[in-house]
Amino acid sequence: MKSPSEAAAIPLASSLPADTFCPQSRRRFVLIAAILASSLGFIDGSVLAIATPAIRVDLGASLAEAQWISNAYALTLSALILAGGAAGDRFGLRRAFVAGIVLFIAASLACAVAPNPGVLIAFRALQGIGAAIMVPGSLAIIAKAYPKKERGRAIGIWAAASALTTALGPVLGGLVLSAFGDGIWRAIFAINLPLGLVSIYLLLAKVPADAPTEKRSLDLGGAGLATLAFGALAYGLTSMSDKGEGLMPGPSIAAGGVLLVAFIVFERRQREPMIDLSLFRIGAFAGANVATFFLYFALSANLFYLPMLLIAGWGLSAAEVGFIFLPLSALIALLSGPVGQWSDRIGPRFPIASGSLVVAAAFAGLALLAYAGIHNFWMGVFPMMALMGLGMALVVSPLSTAIMTAVEDRDTGAASGINNAVSRIGGLIAVAAMGSLAAGVYAGVLNGGAGIPGFGEPAPAGLAPDLDAARLAASDAAFAAVALVTALLCLLSAIVAWTTVSGERLPWSRGSENPQS
Q: How far is CA 246 from CA 13, 118, 250, 394, 446, in A?
A: 62, 17, 12, 45, 24
pLDDT at 341: 85
pLDDT at 12: 40
Displacement of CA 280 from its chain's centroid (Å): 22
Displacement of CA 436 from its chain's centroid (Å): 21
Distance CA 172, CA 44 (A): 12
pLDDT at 508: 47
Please say whether the beta carbons of 62 and 242 come within 8 A. Answer: yes
How many Å is the maximal CA-CA distance in the chain?
A: 77
Burial 65-93 (b: 16+ CB within 10 A, else e): bbbbbbbbbbbbbbbbbbbbbbbbbbbbb
State pLDDT tens for residues 91-110: 888 999 999 999 999 999 99
The half-sphere exposure of 146 on its side-chain side, counting CA atoms within 13 A, is 23
pLDDT at 241: 67
One-letter amino acid for residue 270 of the chain: Q
Q: How far is CA 283 from CA 85, 387, 496, in A?
A: 25, 30, 11
pLDDT at 433: 94
pLDDT at 485: 98
State pLDDT tens for residues 337-351: 889 889 888 889 999
Instruction: Name every residue whose Cβ is closer than 8 Å to that of residue 207 and which is 6 or more positions away in sequence.
Output: 5, 22, 26, 29, 30, 33, 94, 145
DSSP state of 483: H
Q: How far is CA 285 from CA 79, 85, 397, in A?
A: 20, 20, 15
Q: Which helix (H) or strand (E) holds 39?
A: helix 27-59
Residue 2 dihedral angles phi and psi, to the nearest 5°: -100, 150
pLDDT at 160: 77
Among 41, 32, 2, residue whose Cα is nearest residue 420: 41
Please say whether the beta carbons of 363 and 388 come within 8 A. Answer: yes
Q: How many of the other CB atoms lie within 10 Å of CB of 38?
A: 23
State pLDDT tens for residues 267-304: 998 888 888 899 999 999 999 999 999 999 999 999 99
Q: From first to last of the 517 residues of the chain, give the pLDDT tens digit.
A: 444 333 333 334 445 666 688 888 899 999 999 999 888 877 777 788 899 999 999 999 999 999 999 999 999 999 998 888 888 888 888 999 999 999 999 999 999 999 999 999 999 999 999 999 998 888 889 888 888 788 878 887 887 787 777 778 888 888 988 888 888 999 889 989 999 999 999 999 999 988 887 676 788 899 999 999 999 999 999 887 665 444 567 889 999 999 999 999 999 988 888 888 999 999 999 999 999 999 999 999 999 999 999 999 999 999 999 999 889 888 988 888 889 889 888 889 999 999 999 999 999 999 999 999 999 999 999 999 999 999 999 998 899 889 888 888 778 778 888 988 999 999 999 999 999 999 999 999 998 767 788 898 888 888 888 899 999 999 999 999 999 999 999 999 999 999 999 776 655 454 444 333 3
- Strand locations in 337-411, DSSP E? none
Please say whether the beta carbons of 104 and 87 come within 8 A. Answer: no
pLDDT at 351: 94
Among 287, 325, 508, residue whose Cα is nearest residue 419: 287
pTM strictly above 0.75: yes
Among 42, 59, 85, 64, residue whose Cα is nearest residue 415: 85
Displacement of CA 427 from its chain's centroid (Å): 7
Apex CA 432: angle with CA 186 and CA 241, to 5°?
95
Please say whether the beta carbons of 221 and 266 come within 8 A. Answer: yes
Please say whether the beta carbons of 45 and 423 come within 8 A. Answer: no
